[in-house]
Amino acid sequence: MFGVGRRPVEKLDFIIAGAQKSGTTALNYYLKRHRQIALPVKKELHFFDRDELFAGAQVSYEPLHRMFRPIRPGTVAGENTPIYLYWRPALRRIRDYNKAIKLIIILRNPIERAFSQWNMQRQRGSEPLEFLDAVWAEPSRIAQAAPQQLRKFSYVDRARYSEQLERAFHLFPRQQLLLIKYEEFRARQKETVEKVFQFLNVPQLRRFKLIEAHNIAYERQMRGEERAAVFDILRNDIAQVETLLGWDCSDWR
């Protein structure tokens, strides 16, 4: 039924948990090419951010595991849903599911990330507001969505990384987290992917084919006044990220 030596997935070994618009699709491309890494039949499963699945006393993980084909021995299984870092209950649910799970987190310049998300919503036809108007409207949109978090229009809120990182560090030992700076991933893809394979304890690829999955052509680029306004909002958070991770984020300024 499962093929010689294959077995169904019973527990995920890793999750790419964020952040949205930070190169998770590019990383997914490389992971798919590794014979010892099992990914689900679609990229974003949105299991741990679906509150209705966790409303009862008992959580069934069968729908999660069903999204994977049977795997060979020695294979690690994982999935890639970038909202998990942002969605407040998700990381605790993941910890309750598997305390030993490994999390991969990619963080992009938060101003660029916010603008990229806005562009995506504009292209989908769901965002009528200009970028700065959407930024100024975000607090009222957050209030209207409460007690839920915003999904579509959380441009600045998703870019407040420090609170999200502190939640992750509270729930998981640091050795179970791999933090990647998006800009370094873009500049050194091969080295970054090799670091991911090492983190997952799988062999390196014999042949590495470089891809460019980061660039999406949007209608326009960010304007200087837009960048300055969002930086003013996120200035302190960027400094906190530098302190938390020991990163140099001068390029984010």
Of the candidate ranges 32-46, 97-111, 214-228, the one whose mean pLDDT is the lowest: 214-228
Mean pLDDT of 71-90: 96
> What amino acid occupies position 166?
E
Task: Please tell me the distance from the alpha carbon of residue 79 to that of residue 91, in angstroms, as a whole number.
Answer: 14
Question: What is the rounded CA–CA span in Å between residue 203 and residue 196?
Answer: 10
In whole angstroms, give the CA distance from residue 237 to residue 243. Answer: 10
**Tens digits of per-residue pLDDT, 167-209?**
999 999 999 999 999 999 999 999 999 999 999 999 998 888 8
Q: Is residue 2 part of a domain?
A: no
pLDDT in tens, 118-132: 999 999 999 999 999
Sheet holding 102-107, edge to edge: 37-38, 76-80, 14-18, 102-107, 177-181
CB 112 within 8 A of CB 159: no
Assess whether pLDDT exceeds 70 at residue 160.
yes
As a dihedral over the C-alpha atoms of residue 96, residue 142, residue 129, residue 107, rounded to 10 degrees, the angle is -40
Give pLDDT, residue 189.
94
- With a cut of 70, say whether residue 226 has pLDDT above it: yes
CATH number of the domain bearing residue 31: 3.40.50.300
Say if 226 falls within a structural domain: yes
Q: Which domain holds residue 166?
A: 14-252
Crossing angle for the helix pair 189-199 and 24-32, to the nearest 10 degrees = 70
Q: Do residues 110 and 237 lie in contact, with contact meaning Cβ atoms separated by under 8 Å? A: yes
Share of the chain above pLDDT 70, in %: 97
With respect to residue 4, please indicate whether it lies within any of the assigned structural domains.
Answer: no
In a domain, 237, yes or no: yes
Residue 76 has pLDDT above 80, yes or no: yes
Say what the pLDDT of residue 220 is. 87
* Pick from 245, 199, 203: nearest CA to 102: 199
Q: Confirm whether pTM is higher than 0.85.
A: yes
Cα 79 to Cα 46: distance, rounded to the nearest angstrom: 10
Q: What is the pLDDT of residue 209?
A: 83
pLDDT of residue 98: 98
Residue 70 counted as domain residue: yes
Residue 7 counted as domain residue:
no
- Whether residue 206 is contained in a domain is answered as yes
**String of DSSP letters for 56-106:** SSS---HHHHTTS--B-TT-EEEEE-TTTTTSTTHHHHHHHH-TT-EEEEE
Return mean pLDDT, the chain. Answer: 94
Angle at which helix 131-145 crosses helix 224-245, to 10 degrees, equals 60
* Residue 96: inside a domain: yes
Number of domains the chain is built from: 1
